[in-house]
Structure formats: structure tokens, C-alpha cells
């Protein structure tokens, strides 16, 4: 299946059995979306670090708006690429006689009650061993940190699954907590992986158009040389 993917150098890939997602809210569980589903295939593409950091480089109103367009366009482009790759996998599985549902990267949609899409892509990716949750509430991949976009295919095919990662990628770091302009992040307590006030975050994002501080400042996956040692 990996041979179907077009960008092996910047792709993350994993498979999870759907029972690893049984804790999802009602209406968002794999069974609610595709009855008799057995596996979820997740893939992600990295975003360009410098492109995502454009917003923090200052400039006047017009130049900032151009930068926002470059960031938004980059995210849209990657999402489209991912959906093309996901479609190839989904149609391949369908040709083999399996049912498939494609959770799109381009059109996730948001359920306002839980602020999540029909199927949570980051939970699916965590279940598929692609990464772990960071204190910023995002999926951290060892390779690229949180700077990945994701898509997923739910299927009734039984596909060999990947092991979940158990690594703590945050350790003593608190950068996202300390730099969040909305103070929406705090040190996780009671064995939780992260603590975020989603409404503070959303309100702040509404006011600032596009806060991505916790995505761009995260040091995980930034040191390319470490990845190749
Ligand atoms: S997106 Fe911005 S406001 Fe929301 S948690 Fe991240 S840093 Fe805080
Ligand atoms: S910035 Fe630091 S604490 Fe926050 S998610 Fe990244 S590694 Fe974890």
C-alpha cells in the first residue's frame, strides 16, 4: 500500500485497528461512520517549516496578508495532495472488494460540541503509531514535530497494524505553554497528555486570524541532522 504514496520522503504512514479509537465521542466512532470497519490507514505530509513561520516575521498589514495567503495556500496544497493520495488508497481497497470511507484533509469540518471532525485525524494518527500527543494538544511526529497535515481511510479490510509510540517527546519542554498568546495551554495534570482551553484558543484565533504559535515554536522534529544520525 505504501507504494501507492507519491511522496515517500515527506510522508508519514501508519495503520491502526479501529478498536484503538473506541474512546471517541458518540457519532465519531469508527462504527458510527463505517459499520464493520476494522482498520484505519493514516497518512500525513510535512509542511515546510519556514513557510509556516512566515507570519512571525513582521511587516506591515499588506505584507502580513500576503504572507497569510502563502501559508493558507501551502496548507491547502498539502491537503489536496494528501486527499489525492488517500483517494488512491481508498479506491485500491474498494477495487479489492472492501468498503472505504475517506476522512478528507481538505474538508474536515468541525463538530462545535467537541471541536473535532467526523473522525479525529490526530487521534487516528496516534492510534496508528505515527506520533504522540504533545502539551500543545497536537500530534507530534518524531520526524517533523506537529508540522504535518493528515488524512485517513477507514475500511473493513483487516490490515496489519503498526505499534503505537510510547515516547515522551515533550519531556521538560514548556515552550508552547509559555508562548501561547491566549494562555489556553497549561501543564497537563492527572495523567492527561495535554490541557487546553479550546474556547480560549478559538477566541484568540478569531481575534488574530491565524495563531500557529504552538505549531511553529515546537522544537520537535526541527533538527534535521538528528533525524539522520
Ligand atoms: S493556536 Fe495559538 S492560541 Fe491556540 S493553543 Fe496554540 S498558541 Fe495558543
Ligand atoms: S513546544 Fe515543547 S512542550 Fe509544547 S508540544 Fe512541543 S515539545 Fe511539547
Q: Both ends of the chain: CA-CA distance in Å?
A: 27
Binned at pLDDT 50, 70 and 90, residue 63 comes out as confident
Within-domain flag for 21: yes
Give the pTM: 0.89
Q: pLDDT tens, 158-168?
A: 999 999 999 89
Within-domain flag for 227: no
Within-domain flag for 201: no
Which pLDDT belongs to residue 160?
96
Q: pLDDT tens, 130-174?
A: 999 999 999 999 999 999 999 999 999 999 999 999 989 999 999
Structural domain tally of the chain? Answer: 1
Binned at pLDDT 50, 70 and 90, residue 45 comes out as very high
Within-domain flag for 176: no
Residues 6+ positions from 36 with CB-CB distance below 8 Å:
99, 156
Residues with C-beta less than 6 Å from any ligand 2 atom: 134-136, 140, 169-170, 173-176, 217-220
Cα(144)–Cα(10) distance, integer angstroms: 9
Mean pLDDT value across residues 27-35 = 93
How far, in Å, from the CA of 34 to the mean position of ligand 2?
Answer: 34
Q: Which three cell numbers stand for residue 35?
A: 459499520
Cα(191)–Cα(119) distance, integer angstroms: 24
Within-domain flag for 210: no
126, 176, 213, 226: which to mutate for ligand 2, most atoms within 8 A of CB? 176
The domain containing residue 65 runs over which residues?
2-167
Within-domain flag for 129: yes
Within-domain flag for 183: no
3-state secondary structure the chain: CHHHCCCHHHEEEEEEEHHHHCCCCCCCCHHHHCCCCCEEEEEEEECCHHHHCHHHHCCCHHHHHHHHHHHHHHHHHHHHHHHHHHHHHHHHHHHCCCCEEEECCCCCCCECCCCECCCCHHHHHHHCCCCEECCCCCEEECCCECCEEEEEEEECCCCCCCCCCCCCCCCCCCHHHHHCCCCCEECCCCCCCCEECHHHHHHHHHHHCCCCHHHHCCCCCCCHHHHCC
Atom of ligand 2 nearest to the CA of 169: 7
Which pLDDT belongs to residue 147?
95
Within-domain flag for 191: no
Which pLDDT belongs to residue 229?
38
Residue 227 has pLDDT above 60, yes or no: no
Amino acid at each position: 500500500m505504501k507504494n501507492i504514496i507519491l511522496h515517500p520522503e515527506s510522508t508519514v504512514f501508519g495503520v491502526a485497528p479501529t478498536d484503538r479509537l473506541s474512546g471517541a465521542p458518540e457519532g465519531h466512532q469508527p462504527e458510527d461512520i463505517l459499520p464493520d470497519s476494522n482498520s484505519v490507514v493514516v497518512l500525513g505530509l510535512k509542511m515546510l517549516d519556514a513557510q509556516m513561520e512566515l507570519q512571525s516575521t513582521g511587516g506591515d498589514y499588506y505584507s502580513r496578508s500576503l504572507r497569510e495567503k502563502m501559508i493558507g495556500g501551502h496548507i491547502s496544497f498539502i491537503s489536496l495532495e494528501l486527499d489525492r493520495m488517500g483517494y488512491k488508497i481508498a479506491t485500491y481497497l474498494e477495487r479489492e472488494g472492501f468498503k472505504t470511507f475517506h476522512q478528507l484533509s481538505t474538508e474536515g469540518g468541525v463538530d462545535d460540541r467537541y471541536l473535532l471532525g467526523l473522525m479525529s485525524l490526530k487521534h487516528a494518527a496516534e492510534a496508528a503509531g505515527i506520533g504522540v500527543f504533545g502539551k500543545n494538544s497536537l500530534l507530534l511526529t518524531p520526524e517533523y514535530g506537529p508540522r504535518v497535515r493528515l488524512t485517513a481511510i477507514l475500511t473493513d479490510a483487516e490490515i496489519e497494524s503498526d505499534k503505537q509510540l510510547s515516547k515522551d517527546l515533550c519531556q521538560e519542554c514548556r515552550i508552547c505553554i509559555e508562548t501561547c498568546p491566549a494562555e489556553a495551554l497549561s501543564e497537563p495534570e492527572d495523567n492527561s497528555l495535554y490541557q487546553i482551553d479550546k474556547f480560549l484558543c478559538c477566541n484568540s484565533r478569531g481575534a488574530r486570524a491565524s495563531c500557529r504559535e504552538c505549531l511553529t515554536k515546537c522544537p520537535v522534529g526541527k533538527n534535521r541532522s538528528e533525524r539522520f544520525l
